[in-house]
Amino acid sequence: MTAAVTLDGVGCTFGHGAGAVRAVDGVDLTIAAGEFFTLLGPSGSGKTTVLRMIGGFTLPTAGRVWIGGQDVTLAPPYARAVNTVFQDYALFPHMSIRDNVAYPLMVRKVDRATRERRAEELLALVQLPGVGARRPAQLSGGQRQRVALARALISEPQVLLLDEPLGALDLKLREQMQSELKALQRRLGITFLFITHDQHEALSMSDRIGIFNAGRLEQLGTPRQVYDTPATRFVAHFVGAANVLEGEAARSLTGHAQAMLRPERITLGEAVGARAAGPVCEVQFFGAFTRIKVETAGTRVQADLPLAPGAVMPEPGQTVHLHWNNGAVHALSAAA
Amino acid sequence: MRSDVRGGFRGTWPLKWAAGAVVLFLHVPLALIVLYAFSSEDKSYVFPPPALTTQWFGVAWERPDVWEAIQLSFEVALWSTAIALVLGTLAAGALARARFFGRDAISLLLILPIALPGIITGIALRSAYHTMEIPFSFWTIVIGHATFCVVVVFNNAVARLRRLNPNLIEASMDLGADGFQTLRYIILPQLGSALLAGALLAFALSFDEVIVTTFTAGQQTTLPIWMLQELIRPRQRPVTNVVAVVIIALTFIPIVLAYWFTRADEPGHR
Amino acid sequence: MNTFALPPPPPRPAGLRRRASDLLYTRRGLLLLLLLAPPLLWFGVIYLGSLIALLANAFFRLDDFTGQVVREVGVSNFVALFDPANLDAARRTIVMAIAVTLACTVLAFPLAYFMARHARGWSKAALYIAVMLPLWSSYLVRLYAWKLLLAKEGAISWAAERLHLSWLIEALLATPLVGGPSLSFSTLGTFIVFVYMWLPFMVLPVMASIERIPASTLEASADLGAPPLTTFRRVVLPLAMPGVAAGSIFTFSLTLGDYIIPQVIGDSTLYIGQVVYRQQGVAGNIPFAAAFSLVPIVVIGVYLWLAKRKGAFDAL
């Protein structure tokens, strides 16, 4: 099956000479049709630029972009079978909601009756029946986001780009939208390309994740892969809490030159068979778990401990013994 | 009203009176004009007017030279506004967001006709017409007017374009509209009220302009030139009074409308 | 969702509109060029062209005999500038411009200060409109209004009679340099009208610069023992200077370039603008008119440079 999106050596450099900024550098990426793919990374990592190059808003200075098997590297946005849900929704303020949603059909010269009927269908799909006559200014943020979604879906694009669509919503609404979006994608079977800087969102919603840092793609994999076996130190830190060990500590605790150990894989136990031991220097209660930091092997190791109700939390200064399985340790490549 | 600035004038009453006097100074003359339009005296500017009457409105209505002047001013203003609209909008489209060498220089160039004293622009155009041996005509007037009206449209258009969310243009293209469709469905509707305000201001400016016009009009008489001739050599004073009131209305209304349009545009107003 | 069949996308359109749109999208420079070409052509050819014609003509001269313009570069016009009559006109105009600027500043201050520090909300907006309103009415109409006011039989004479101040007006009119045959044909009258016309241009920048003075500065001054007048002299006045400089740019250059007010209200002495107008009109001596019009340009240029040093451009 033809991949939905392929990026081949794509790069984007702004400016010239000494002041040039390499926003994106040498990205190779293939997204399968029907996949929920997330671009994850901190601000300025280049993920938005990659999205814009796929959408056609920014033209790459190196490499090629394919969508649905067609080379669209230099094609304008209106020539690509890709639609975008913008971070600020970008609804047209001078048009009604129905006209906003029907806009893609209007510019394709679909007749009024058909496109209005279709717009109503899509508004029902995103659970906003009956707002067709209103203006964007009259809707709440969450409602506007659904309208943006409906508008982007109405012309049945091959790929839907979502640029941090949930960033402006409050927590409860955000979680609700996350499951709705996921369900919608499953149902429609369209390829979703999702951008976020929130790793929880990425882990919970994606089929695969691409992690960006400073313009480069650091790792590409399923959520499990990215979480359990991070390719670089950056990925290890960015996705979930991590103990990244190096040098002396790494060698004495794990036998590798550089390794990662997830805090939740550490348990407290007896001195016998303990991997490490030392005094507790910090205790923080997070509800679902208690986080302790232990001084050992010349470094601080963090452990997230689920405590049964009624069990006793370790005190600062108290010496504890840490246990973990071999499988909990993941060696990081020296170059990372 | 207590002064809430302890360091300022303690007695606000002298200040209030002074401020009030200045405001009166600004407005009494205008009020007088309206009064004089109803004065029954036709030989002088005697104050107070001996009696009040509306007869002069009728007389002014009958004067053909007044109507000709109004017509010429109107046509000149229409054409100047049309040209200024096109040139000003094009320039605004180029300068609103793009960064390029010479951008500030172009902004300066557009504002120069209004920034330099009218007499400079006037004599410059006159020199050019003379050197190129171009005879005075309707178009020599329009050319001058259009040139200094461009900046008025330009300012309004640029201000509106800068407030336009660039994502809207991207969204439109993303959803399948090419550049021209985006222009038609998204950009121009958003620009609409700003262009209208700019056009109204340009119209008022052109209608009222006299200095550059006197250099470029030759024998033709726009309404301001008619007024100027009356000022130097009064023919029928009461008719001039009436025309003055009409001019106030004709230049005042577009400006108020333009002001109203741009205010409605401001964020937070909808 | 599949109750609807989207019409197949139109075949990659080779239509002209589509191709043009594609081209302009990928080549932003071309788009910019197309947008700028008409306005730049107009301004370049017509406006810059006429300024060049102005400059060129300043160096040509008029042949008295034939009445034609001789297109040879020479400085005869600039030499003629130093004729006593011309110097007189220039001096007169500059002095008037300075006097008008000073008067506008004095008159603008109370109003500007009041608007900046004491008016709030609706009263401030109302005052703002009150100041702008005269600007929105026609220049000539306002001039005409003063013709009515200043006339021998007009409102000012009437008021003076009622207040028994007619002698004052007579005395003023009899003063050489300032006076004239009547108020509506005198230097004094010209002066009053100039002040009236440009006053709003002074009020607004001064108001803006006074607004920028933080209240705490004035409170500090009082706190440290300064009586109100001293605070005004030492704190408000210096800090309002940029606004005054900005406003003075308007009053100065507008007065320098105006020829209508002196012609309508003035006595028969000439101002720069009038000389320029007469020379290019009846006399057909465009070269000299052009040269003489360079005088206000130079004077304004010098003034702008001085004003910039006083920080006027920050206040605009």
Q: What span, in angstroms and rounded, lies between the C-alpha atoms of B88 and B106?
A: 12
What average pLDDT does range B127-138 have in this prediction?
88
Phi, psi of A6 (to 5 degrees): -130, 130
CATH number for the segment(s) B63-265: 1.10.3720.10
What average pLDDT does range A148-159 have in this prediction?
93
Any domain includes A336: no
Which residues of chain B does C232 touch, with a Cβ-Cβ cutoff of 8 Å? 8-9
Which residues of chain C does B251 touch, with a Cβ-Cβ cutoff of 8 Å? 136-138
Output the CA–CA distances (angstroms, integers) from residue C292 to A331, B81, C89, C285, in the order listed: 86, 32, 10, 11
Confidence of residue A39 (pLDDT cuts 50, 70, 90): very high
The ipTM of this complex is 0.82
Confidence of residue C62 (pLDDT cuts 50, 70, 90): confident
B177 part of contact set with chain C, CB < 8 Å: no
The answer to whether the CB atoms of A84 and B171 lie below 8 A apart is: yes
Any domain includes C1: no
Structural domain for C293, as ranges: 76-315
Instruction: Using the 3D structure, point to which of A219, A236, A253 is the last residue of a domain.
Output: A236
Which residues of chain B does C196 touch, with a Cβ-Cβ cutoff of 8 Å? 25-26, 29
What pLDDT is attached to residue C281? Answer: 79
The answer to whether the CB atoms of C273 and B119 lie below 8 A apart is: yes
Q: Is the pLDDT of residue B5 over 60?
A: no
Residue in A with minimal Cα distance to B179:
A78
Whether residue A253 sits in one domain with residue A227: no
What's the pLDDT tens digit per position in C102-112? 999 999 998 89
Point out which residues pair with A194 in neighbouring strands. A38, A162
Which residues of chain B does C240 touch, with a Cβ-Cβ cutoff of 8 Å? none
Any domain includes C71: no
pTM of the model: 0.81
Whether residue A150 sits in one domain with residue A190: yes
Whether residue A181 sits in one domain with residue A46: yes
Q: What total of structural domains would you count in chain A?
A: 2
Using CB atoms, pick whichever of A55, A78, A92 lies closest to residue B176. Answer: A78
Best residue in B44, B97, B110, B123 for a mutation probing chain C (most C CBs within 10 Å): B123
Any domain includes C54: no
Tokens 């790929």 appear where? A159
Higher per-residue pLDDT: B11 or C58: C58
Residue A171 C-alpha, separation from nearest chain C C-alpha, in angstroms: 30
Whether residue A157 sits in one domain with residue A194: yes
Confidence of residue C313 (pLDDT cuts 50, 70, 90): low
Q: What span, in angstroms and rounded, lies between the C-alpha atoms of A224 and A233?
A: 16
Whether residue A313 sits in one domain with residue A256: yes
Any domain includes C238: yes
Residue in A with minimal Cα distance to C20:
A76
Whether residue A216 sits in one domain with residue A272: no
What's the pLDDT tens digit per position in C220-233? 888 888 888 888 88
What average pLDDT does range A28-49 have in this prediction?
92
Using CB atoms, pick whichever of B165, B170, B176 lies closest to residue A107. Answer: B176
Q: What span, in angstroms and rounded, lies between the C-alpha atoms of B202 and B214?
A: 18
Q: Is the pLDDT of residue C5 over 60?
A: no
CA angle, residues A74, B95, B99, in degrees to nearest 5: 60
Which residues of chain A does B190 touch, with a Cβ-Cβ cutoff of 8 Å? 93-94
Any domain includes C8: no
Q: What total of structural domains would you count in chain C?
A: 1
Q: In 3D, which of B217, B225, B83 has the Cα closest to residue B154?
A: B83
What's the pLDDT tens digit per position in C247-262? 888 888 889 888 899 8
- Helix ranges (DSSP H) in chain B: 12-37, 55-62, 64-95, 103-115, 118-131, 138-163, 166-174, 179-182, 188-208, 211-216, 223-232, 237-265
Any domain includes C225: yes
Helices (H) and strands (E) in chain A, counts: 9, 18
Indicate which CATH number applies to the domain containing A251.
2.40.50.100
The answer to whether the CB atoms of B181 and A107 lie below 8 A apart is: yes
Any domain includes C132: yes
Which residues of chain B does C21 touch, with a Cβ-Cβ cutoff of 8 Å? 178-180
Q: Find residues 146-185 of chain B whose CB sits inside 8 Å of chain A.
A: 165, 167-168, 170-179, 181, 185
Whether residue A177 sits in one domain with residue A258: no
Residue B97 C-alpha, separation from nearest chain A C-alpha, in angstroms: 16
Structural domain for A123, as ranges: 5-236
Q: What span, in angstroms and rounded, lies between the C-alpha atoms of A22 and A26?
A: 10
What pLDDT is attached to residue A217? Answer: 92
Instruction: Using the 3D structure, point to which of A204, A236, A268 is the last residue of a domain.
Output: A236
Indicate which CATH number applies to the domain containing C254.
1.10.3720.10
Residue ranges of domains in chain B: 63-265
Whether residue A202 sits in one domain with residue A131: yes
The winner for highest mean pLDDT among A305-319, B178-192, C163-177 is: B178-192
Whether residue A114 sits in one domain with residue A76: yes
Which residues of chain C does A118 touch, with a Cβ-Cβ cutoff of 8 Å? 4
Point out which residues pair with A40 in neighbouring strands. A196, A211
Whether residue A297 sits in one domain with residue A231: no
Q: What single-letter DSSP state applies at residue A271?
A: S
Size of interface A-C (CB pairs under 8 A): 24
Confidence of residue A226 (pLDDT cuts 50, 70, 90): very high
Whether residue A197 sits in one domain with residue A269: no
Instruction: Using the 3D structure, point to which of A236, A258, A293 is the last residue of a domain.
Output: A236
Using CB atoms, pick whichever of B170, B190, B270 lies closest to residue A137. Answer: B270
Whether residue A160 sits in one domain with residue A252: no
Any domain includes A217: yes
Dihedral over Cα of C118, C124, C128, C129: its sign: negative
